[in-house]
Structure 1
């Protein structure tokens, strides 16, 4: 995601929802929520394994290159898949030592992680920032230390890095907007009430996904937006609270656009808890087979758009650069619209 931070928005909408903890419907939803976190647990286990592998001196001495990777968090499903992909790619290259750190979803922790990797004199640094502005300074420190830096997924506010690898979030947002217009009646005729749930307000992907969406939907006078900028911080539970409030305040909601699949699904669960999920279309972004694609196939999300994790490609590019080959300044990863029409085949292609 080629990004630079945009303007700040309003705070998050919150609501307290009381439930009967022994009800069957709630138990089923809790089981589904736990299923969606399994991938995160796998990613965390893989991360621990990597840390153990890279700690042995004998292991490190066999390596040609030492590459550091600063990940913002390991608990979100997309981030877990991100780590899984980069670790799988690293296993194909016996001449590298990959050091993976977990920023624990805190900018200050991630800054400290990168500073530690700089002190370890890594041959190359891969970083996926929590916030563009928050990581710009330490990325510049790495550049000043003559370490090639490969920025993944979210960009930083300096152009001195070696390469950026990620999806085009504005393009994905436009694709989501085009499909929303189609769902709401078609170009020139679209009408309906839309709830947009933002990702982190300090991240450029959220701004790009919103801007791309509005480039299309704002041309339709029949489309009304029900919320000011409401941040779900990319998290399912926060999106649930935002949607619960929106449902209480609005008798008619036609479509929800969540900046990622967990938030779109959180909105779906809030609507389902009050029996209104069938009257609303839900669009998300990420398109992980075990997450968004499965939710679309189950009829819980109407559509998702793939946001390919950049870890494997980023590592390949870093190795290419270290071996003396030229690399492009920017690599843009492709996207794909996933609906009920193609979700089953995608699951089949992924062994699901």
Structure 2
């Protein structure tokens, strides 16, 4: 809680902002006495994002704003339609966690054209998709994904004692995942005894993680561990390992901040180590930033929140922070 308070104070304590940028707060055409904030997330089926949305809505209300949120079901076309609806509604600002980071520049440019400030959360829009056309994002808030990948890599090395075949559940459409990938790879590449024998798209979902892990285990029966890029993927991997009767033979290590994942780490039969993020903190910071921006204050272009290593020994300690 102290970290949350200090970060919010940091955001709130900035000075005046210029009003000439494409996303200038003073240029918005909304005439509502209560600012309306639009939020479109890549999905709401992942509890990470559903908690982020509900927390943002509550925090916005406390500040006298109204938040309307949507899930895009991992569809760029759906997200574009949602952004268009927010533009027609003349909202005061829009928060985006893009379904496809590489193509989401169209969302940013459309909002810029409508003079609606853009804020991104968890996953950023690929800069090359909008900056060359003069696009502008006010602020991006995310957990320290590179560090999360580094921690997962360290735990993987420790678990395998530097040797063994591993599988990798990926989701390359999200820049946040690419950062986790980079952090993980920066560690394991130093250990030639650890070999990635399969790297498949787990689609960021439990069914995707289950299917990809089942394929890995069938094609590479000597895999000793699976790296997952989020809790739903990891839980799918756990299900696949149980179905293949490989409990005690294959471990899951990776991003694991949901209640179910933290509980699985505490049980420790398959999910051995994890890394926790705080979606509630990310959304709280961004909502306060939007409030400050709309009131003429500067906000930071990038804010990183902390991540935490989770082991069997401290899982109970971190359980209250887990998202549902």
How far the C-alpha of 1:174 sits from its partner, in A, is 1.3
Instruction: Quote the residue 1:161 is aligned against.
Output: 137
Normalised TM-score (structure 2): 0.82
Matched, 1:180 2:156: yes
- Return closer, same or farther for 1:349/1:150 CA change in 2, 3 Å cut-off: closer
CA distance in 1, matches of 2:32, 2:87: 21
Residues 228-274 of structure 1: CA distance to partner in whole angstroms, max 9, x if unpaired? x3101011112212222222223322111011112112112111122
Instruction: Quote the residue 1:344 is aligned against.
Output: 316
Normalised TM-score (structure 1): 0.76
CA distance in 1, matches of 2:265, 2:107: 39
Check conservation: 2:37, 2:66, Cα contact below 8 A: yes
CA distance in 2, matches of 1:83, 1:76: 11
CA distance in 1, matches of 2:93, 2:305: 21
- Return closer, same or farther for 1:105/1:249 CA change in 2, 3 Å cut-off: closer
Structure 1, unpaired ranges of 5+: 1-59
CA distance in 1, matches of 2:321, 2:283: 21
Residues 62-116 of structure 1: CA distance to partner in whole angstroms, max 9, x if unpaired? 84312111122211121211112212212322x2122222323311011111111
Instruction: Quote the residue 1:241 is aligned against.
Output: 211
Pairing 1:221-232 to 2, within 5 Å after superposition = 221-227=192-198, 229-232=199-202
Check conservation: 2:40, 2:79, Cα contact below 8 A: yes
Check conservation: 2:257, 2:323, Cα contact below 8 A: no
Which of residues 178, 191, 210 in structure 2 aligns to 1:207? 178
How far the C-alpha of 1:349 sits from its partner, in A, is 6.8
Instruction: Quote the residue 1:122 is aligned against.
Output: 91
How far the C-alpha of 1:286 sits from its partner, in A, is 4.1
Q: How many residues align?
A: 285
Give structure 1 regions of 4+ aligned residues with deviation exceeding 6 angstroms. Answer: 349-352
Instruction: Quote the residue 1:90 is aligned against.
Output: 60
